[in-house]
Structure 1
């Protein structure tokens, strides 16, 4: 097979011929049809983000494809099936202290590095070796729609956070980071899950206007000023009533101010879910949390059942993939795709490789 290989951090991807993967017990091989290229892929490949990876390897975080071959213990999947390739690979030998890597993307810790030593390459290749449980059936889809189904990789992340908050129909949900790629996807998912109102704060007024036009009165945008007290007051004023849930999905920031401002808008007995990339300590008032019975929880990615549930949301018509604008590149133009994703990334925009 051919794959776009990262030989070392800071080097361009090189198209190489690699051995075809062969599935063993508990594994399968997928012919990759479409793989998303995240907007910060260039930061990962350059080493700027300091993601621990064993190089050389084929990068790429998730994708859509068709099953090529399955291991001897497969009972559900068969060659030809359309699947979502979930990049979150979990260790199987400890249900409590699970080790997790994002295949082809990040391997934090010794246990994750052991996983990568076997499931080494990501989705920027013609074929991909996966654990059986990482292949999520999509049902019959049109080959031309494979790139659009890549949007699931963006929608799954905030969906995991909203599931962790246990939101209910009619709830008011605040998405902190709503003008970013994953945050705007969170707005879409919250509405599909039945949120009565979504509060969408951000600094990019053009994106905020776009959210208003796209979703109408169920989304209420707030332009952030950088003043914590004023921003908190404006977010509360924008809500039609108490804010039930705050989902923080901001990108890596050196300052906790916007995270704290959003977190402190939640009502008594409300829930704050932390999924973002904050690079500073977050100080929250102990007495306020305790007296108001507020739940604060971290959430990394999503539980396994979220993947098929999200597929059903799309199949039911409650969640549309048509909101996403797609730009596709062939595998030999992987470096161009990385540059395009960095320059043209944003809400409801996807750059996709088609191996």
Structure 2
């Protein structure tokens, strides 16, 4: 039995409004926390009853360019489509799910779910599900080698993945400038850091003014963006790129079809621009270690709220609740 996350746009995907490719019929799903029910003959570490985090980003074993999102998307190539249609068709919105061994990461149950009195962290299974939201921006931050002590601009910082990027970056040990349009939502981010490592800046649309605000405490080392496609014309790309130091890095994880960048500035300032889709297995292992060590906090301790826990037969209510999430660090989950 697993506890999977619910995408904010799940209803749009599974109703066909957002055209993702997947086989029909199939069982939807996402990344999840659950217990191992049984293992195959090639398992050397996992055992029945063990608590694991399942990563829904699956690679082909004989072709790592074949990529799918388990229970969500059959990818972008014929070989990826085959991977989902045959081997890994059904997702985690079920009592039991067949999953790839290499996508199941053991987690320290005593440490994470144990009571505070016994030296544990007191998390719930639902708290751990937030690893799924964190994993995506965590992969983008590591892709540009974000290091402790650096200054990182994150935009937009108030959505599901942008706010998770703020949480992840603070855990890595950087100074964060969280940028967005909604000041009320940005103000809610202030509670994430009691060490004065988080500053908020509103995207006003005035490039010169925004650059001034972004650089009040010096030029930035990294600009991380996870904007939706409709933000491709936003002025923040110009202001954030010009707020970087010479030799700075840019991590783009948004759907930026038609995005126009300051190519001359990028060239003259020796900037590195990298696109990233999802994350690596090593990213997952590092992220889990950060959680188990206590540097990356989840649940109430991390300012993360689970707004609803739904049974499988309440999937429509779960999709509706997820679609209505508004503000940083919120999630909805399904608990079969």
| TM-score under structure 2 length normalisation | 0.90
| Displacement after TM superposition at 1:169 (Å) | 1.4
Does 1:88 pair with 2:57?
yes
Of 267, 272, 295 in structure 2, the residue corresponding to residue 295 of structure 1 is: 272
Alignment partner of 1:215 is 2:193: yes
Residue matched to 1:35: 4
Residue number among 306, 314, 327 corresponding to 2:283 in the alignment: 306
- Per-residue deviation, residues 269-304 of structure 1 (Å, max 9, x unmatched): 0100111122x3222233322221110011111111
Q: Distance in 2 between matches of 1:254 and 1:315?
A: 36
Relative to structure 1, the CA distance from residue 78 to residue 345 in structure 2 (aligned partners, 3 Å threshold; closer, same or farther) is farther
Is the counterpart of residue 325 in structure 1 residue 305 in structure 2?
Answer: yes
CA contact (8 A) 1:176 1:259 kept: no
Report the alpha carbon displacement of residue 191 of structure 1 after superposing the two structures with TM.
Answer: 0.8
Superposed CA RMSD: 1.7
- The 3-state SS of whatever aligns with 1:128 is coil
Higher share in strand: 1
Alpha-carbon distance between aligned partners in 2 of 1:60 and 1:346, rounded to the nearest angstrom: 23
How far did residue 254 of structure 1 move?
Answer: 5.1
Structure 2 SS opposite 1:166 = coil
Distance 1:351 1:345 in 2: 12
Deviation at 1:307, TM superposition (A): 1.1
C-alpha spacing 1:140/1:254, structure 2 compared with 1 (3 Å): closer
In 1, distance between residues paired with 2:192 and 2:148?
20
- Of 120, 133, 137, 1:158 maps to 137
**In structure 1, C-alpha distance between the alignment counterparts of 2:237 and 2:70, rounded to whole Å:** 28
After superposition, the Cα gap between the structure-2 partners of 1:66 and 1:300, relative to the gap in structure 1 and judged at 3 Å, is same
Specify whether residues 115 and 224 from structure 1 end up closer, same or farther in structure 2 by C-alpha distance, changes over 3 A only. Answer: same
Q: Match of 1:221, SS?
A: strand
Contact 1:345 1:351 in 2 (8 A): no
1:253 alignment partner, SS class: helix
Conserved 8 A contact 1:200-1:222? yes
Equivalent residue number for residue 346 of structure 1: 327
**Secondary structure of 1:70's match?**
coil
Matched, 1:334 2:302: no
What residue is the counterpart of 2:120 in the other structure? none
**How far apart in 2 are the matches of 1:38 and 1:286?**
34
Task: Say which of 36, 49, 58 aligns to 1:67.
Answer: 36
Deviations 1:21-65 (A, max 9, x none): xxxxxxxxxx31x11112211221222221112222221211110
- Is there any run of 5+ residues in structure 1 with no aligned partner, and where? 1-30
What is the alpha-carbon distance in structure 2 between the residues aligned to residue 60 and residue 261 of structure 1?
Answer: 38
Map of 1:273 onto structure 2: 251
- Say which SS state the counterpart of residue 129 (structure 1) adopts: coil
TM-score, reference length from structure 1 = 0.85
Q: CA deviation at 1:345?
A: 4.6
Gapped regions of structure 2 (runs ≥ 5):
115-122
Greater alpha carbon shift after TM alignment, 75-84 vs 206-215? 206-215
Contact 1:271 1:295 in 2 (8 A): yes
Does structure 1 residue 100 correspond to structure 2 residue 67? yes
Contact 2:56 2:103 in 1 (8 A): yes
Give the corresponding residue for 1:8: none
SS at match of 2:81: helix
For this pair of structures, how many residues does the alignment match?
Answer: 318
Contact 1:59 1:121 (8 Å CA) reproduced: yes
